[in-house]
Amino acid sequence: MILGFTIPYLEDLLALPGGQITAFVILLAVLAITLDAALVAVLKILGFLVGKTKTTLDDRVLRVLGSYLPAISIVTSLWISFEAVYPDIIVEGYGEFEIYVVVMTAIVGLLLSSLANAVLIWYGLEIRTDKRKVRDNEVFPFVRNVVRVSIVLIFAVFILQRLGFETGAIITGLGVGGLAVALALQDTLGNFFAGVHILVDKPFREEDYVKLENGIEGSVKQIGWRTTRLITPMNNEVIVPNSKLSSSILENFSTPNEQSGLYYTIGVDYKEDIDAVEKIITDSLHKVGKANGLLDTQSIWVRFDSFGDYSLNFKFGYNLTGYVHRFSVLKDVNRELFYAFKKNDINIPFPVRVVYNAPNPEDKPRAGESEKAGKKK
């Protein structure tokens, strides 16, 4: 009886020629084939269920699980066979179940390290914009090796503890070594996990137009595992570490509906009629919107804003489809306003500054000059 279950026909197997050896071999073969077939069937069902998903992560996970099924089946079958046929076997003070737990712990540790490796490869390939074929071993191998070795070492400590070894010194050494590695890779790991956060949370996507709080702006070209690349309006590439990007206040002009609100200021002479100027600006914006289709005419607004030092200041704004087109649309808006103001004799004043120079009391006027001469220039 094993875990409350009785092996059927065990007595008949023991009665065969060869006794326990024959029973052990037959039981092992039957259990290994049966268990492996059952696990493969479960894996097939899971593969069918996840086959319709868009991501390739589940496929990679299932492939890793499938590669460890034979080992799990054989080890489990060996344990059951030994427990059934040779229940009293002791190896170095450990029974069959203790040995089984140790071996399965080792297999689980290797399995988890392989799963972590598969997830990291998927992540590295998923965030790539360059579609040329890349081998799996080319996807940040250093980070993958560090993660895999760390997982294996952790499970090795568990196994040693299970076997009764003193692991205090080992744990201390691993802790000090891990701290040293963490400090050495602080920036790298920070950028890596920030990249994971960006990929999962999706505050922006590739091709989105974003602006950072430090004033840097551009279209997102590539979200990498360590950095994100932006293409500025001047067609320059800016490389931003993911850790700085994830902690920055960011404005995304491509969400939620691909429209961005813009506003500008223009000043006219104090002699102009406010209502007439508002109508001219509104009509000009509608004309530009109908011509290019990028300016949303339903969103146009114009208002008299303030009394300036030398002009009446108006603000106007609109929604624009595609923030990257703001310069070309503004060019059309400025041209239309210029000709509309010129046609309607609307004056845009120049800045005017009047400077008075007070005379120096110590300067005496020359003979024949008036005392008031030179006071105003």
Torsional sign, CA 14, 15, 20, 24? negative
- Classify residue 198: in a domain, yes or no: no
Residue 280 pLDDT: 95
Burial of 288 by CB count in 10 Å (0-12 exposed, 13-18 middle, 19+ buried)? buried
CATH of the domain at 246: 2.30.30.60
> How many structural domains does the chain have?
3
Instruction: Identify whether residues 237 and 267 lie together within a single domain.
Output: no
Instruction: Identify whether residues 65 and 172 lie together within a single domain.
Output: yes
Instruction: Identify whether residues 19 and 159 lie together within a single domain.
Output: yes
- Classify residue 310: in a domain, yes or no: yes
Chunked into runs of 10 residues, the chain (377 residues) has average pLDDT values of 60 75 83 87 83 77 88 87 76 72 89 88 66 59 77 84 74 70 67 75 82 87 82 88 84 75 92 94 94 90 92 94 86 94 91 73 59 45
DSSP string of 323-370, one letter each residue = GGGHHHHHHHHHHHHHHHHHHTT---PPP------PPPTTPPPPTT--
Instruction: Identify whether residues 185 and 210 lie together within a single domain.
Output: no
Domain that holds residue 220: 203-252
Instruction: Identify whether residues 30 and 174 lie together within a single domain.
Output: yes
Residue 377 pLDDT: 39
Does the predicted model carry a pTM greater than 0.85? no
- Classify residue 298: in a domain, yes or no: yes
Half-sphere exposure (CA, 13 Å, Cβ side) for 235?
0
CATH of the domain at 297: 3.30.70.100
Instruction: Identify whether residues 18 and 131 lie together within a single domain.
Output: yes
- Classify residue 79: in a domain, yes or no: yes
- Classify residue 293: in a domain, yes or no: yes
- Classify residue 364: in a domain, yes or no: no
Instruction: Identify whether residues 184 and 220 lie together within a single domain.
Output: no
- Classify residue 117: in a domain, yes or no: yes
- Classify residue 17: in a domain, yes or no: yes
Alpha-carbon distance of 320 to 297, in angstroms, equals 9
Report long-range pairs for 137-142 (Cβ below 8 Å, ≥24 apart): 140/225
Peptide bond into 256 cis (omega under 30): yes
Instruction: Identify whether residues 67 and 149 lie together within a single domain.
Output: yes
Instruction: Identify whether residues 60 and 208 lie together within a single domain.
Output: no
Instruction: Identify whether residues 101 and 167 lie together within a single domain.
Output: yes
Instruction: Identify whether residues 145 and 171 lie together within a single domain.
Output: yes
Instruction: Identify whether residues 138 and 264 lie together within a single domain.
Output: no
